[in-house]
């Protein structure tokens, strides 16, 4: 495993659309492990492959208290959204900043796991927010384009 460099706002790769993963191979397995290590090291709750410079439809998320319940979503597709939540959001690719974003409060996503088995996952509140945020990354969208009002710096 290795830490990967997290691309930051202004890097043109962050605005590109990621490509589907068609099969699991050693390179993708290594990418998943590296992404988890990078996300935990940066104290994030989610990370998309594009954020480490790889244009593949892969995200890792862990919203658990103890940080030992990682979710791997390969080729995720949000298939249902319900309700709304408005709250502060940040991003490892936009360090030191946050903003208020409204998203669905409940989502259902279908994706492949690391064994390339199709599954569905439902999430509420923080998990729902993280799923939507990371899937946006795969489509070249940063949360900053959805911020209501001002983007705050960590010193605000």
CATH of region 12-153, choose from 3.40.50.720, 3.90.45.10, 3.40.109.10, 1.10.530.10: 3.90.45.10
Say if CB 97 and CB 139 are below 8 A apart.
no
The domain spans of the chain are: 12-153
Q: Per the residue annotation, which of 65, 77, 88, 134 is the catalytic one?
A: 134
Residues 6+ apart with CB under 8 A from 30: 1
What are the angstrom distances between the C-alpha of 100 and each of 60, 81, 103, 150? 23, 19, 10, 8
Say if CB 129 and CB 87 are below 8 A apart.
yes
pTM: 0.95
- Identify whether 134 is a catalytic site residue: yes
pLDDT tens track, the chain, 156 positions: 799 999 999 999 999 999 999 999 999 999 999 999 999 999 999 999 999 999 999 999 999 988 889 999 999 999 999 999 999 999 999 999 999 999 999 999 999 999 999 999 999 999 999 999 999 999 999 999 999 999 999 764
């Amino acid at each position: 495993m290795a830490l990967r460099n997290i691309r930051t706002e202004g890097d043109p790769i962050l605005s590109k659309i990621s490509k589907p993963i068609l099969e699991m191979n050693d390179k993708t397995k290594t990418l998943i492990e590296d992404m988890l290590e990078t996300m935990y090291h940066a104290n994030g709750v989610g990370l998309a492959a594009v954020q480490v410079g790889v244009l593949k439809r892969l995200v890792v998320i862990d919203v658990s208290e103890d940080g030992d319940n990682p979710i791997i979503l390969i080729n995720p597709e949000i298939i249902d959204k319900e309700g709304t939540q408005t709250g502060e959001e940040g991003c490892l690719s936009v360090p030191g900043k946050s903003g208020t974003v409204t998203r669905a409060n409940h989502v259902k996503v279908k994706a492949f796991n690391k064994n390339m088995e199709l599954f569905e996952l439902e999430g509420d509140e923080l998990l729902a927010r993280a799923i939507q945020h990371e899937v946006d990354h795969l489509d070249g969208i940063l949360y900053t384009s959805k911020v209501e009002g001002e983007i705050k710096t960590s010193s605000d």
